[in-house]
Amino acid sequence: MKARKILIVTGIYPPAIGGPAQYAKHLAEALTEGGDEVKVKTYGWEKRLPATWRHLFFFFKILPAVAQVEAVIALDTFSVAVPAYYATRLFRRQLIIRVGGDFLWEGYVERTEERVLLKNFYLDTPNNWTAKEKQIFKLTKQALHAASTVVFTTNWQRQIWAEPYKLNLDKIVIIENYYGPKESSLEPGAKVFVGGTRQLVWKNLDNLARNFFTTKLRDGSLQLDLENAPYEEFIEKIRRAYAVILVSLGDVSPNMILDAIRLGKPFILTRETGLYDRLRGVGIFVDPESDKEIIEAIMTLADPNEYDRWRAKVNQFTFTHTWQQIAEEFRKLL
């Protein structure tokens, strides 16, 4: 397959913390290793500007690079995909949009503090959207329709988005997230559950902390670590942890859980996730709105026999999806 000139546009990039930053870095490296000529553009100082000005500055920032490549891969649906849509339209370049999360839903939940599940968002809330939120939806839909291909990481999110965004199913491709090979781990010195993530309403951390306090009254040895950290430090936290827990109101393909599996750690995960079909039976899934299920799941892993059983299930999970495979799947779209 001939080498291509490709531009990756991303909202964040290392040293910024977050799964999208790691994804952009590793995808660029894997495409380059395969012989493609890859450039990466990300937000700098302009990310502090209001949305309209931020998009405008990023549009002009990427224009010279778009003119020099054959295709653009946008790693989100609003912050970079919208400016990329106008830039690729101007130079008639191919646009591939990877949908990693849901910017509109996240913003709505933060604004209203209404704990609406992602799967219900487009059914229950449109009448409550602000003018700004309606514009975000309109521009996102416009970019998605203009893209040559829309990439989802899970069929779960594809099903949620297909109807409200009126997606052309022939243009949709599923490229799963990175599942790495098993790595060395450490025996936990204490029963520390790692649950650190961004302090956002939809991450449901206050509910997790409240329920964990209840379990601690039953087993005083339990500990909950909700502190975030740079990626390499966070990986070391998981490596030393007893288990990993994430009970957000919707998490499409959370890297924290995939890191836990790679490091052989049992996990508790929200059932509102695109990973359920792939990982059913590997970890414990809970209704994020059910105190009872969250408490029972924590107490299950607190039991040494149950812990060993679930750890064995994680270690028996051997599916991998490498960065090289991911790059090849993107390359085929070109």
- Tens-digit pLDDT profile for residues 83-134: 999 999 999 999 999 998 999 999 999 999 999 999 999 999 999 999 999 9
Indicate the class that CATH gives domain 191-316. alpha beta
For the chain, the structural domain boundaries read: 5-179+322-333, 191-316
Band of the pLDDT at 141, cuts 50, 70, 90?
very high
Give yes or no for residue 194 having a pLDDT over 70: yes
What's the pLDDT band for 1 if we cut at 50, 70, 90? low
How far apart are the C-alpha atoms of 296 and 279, rounded to whole Å?
19
Element (H, E) at 268: strand 267-270
- What is the SS3 assignment for 184? coil
pLDDT in tens, 158-168: 999 999 999 99
d(CA 133, CA 125): 11
Look at the block and give the residue holding tokens 């870095």. 25
User: In sequence order, which residues have a C-beta less than 8 Å from that of residue 12 and are 6 or more positions away?
Assistant: 18, 20, 21, 24, 42, 43
Residue 314 has pLDDT above 70, yes or no: yes
* pTM, rounded to two decimals: 0.93
Model confidence at 241: pLDDT above 90: yes
Assigned token pair, 127? 């009448």
The pLDDT score that the predictor gives to residue 190 is 96
Asked, colleague to colleague, whether 5-179+322-333 and 191-316 share their fold, the answer is: yes
Q: pLDDT grade, residue 20 (50/70/90)?
A: confident
CATH of 5-179+322-333, one of 1.10.20.10, 1.10.10.60, 3.40.50.2000, 3.20.20.70: 3.40.50.2000
Residue 300 has pLDDT above 80, yes or no: yes
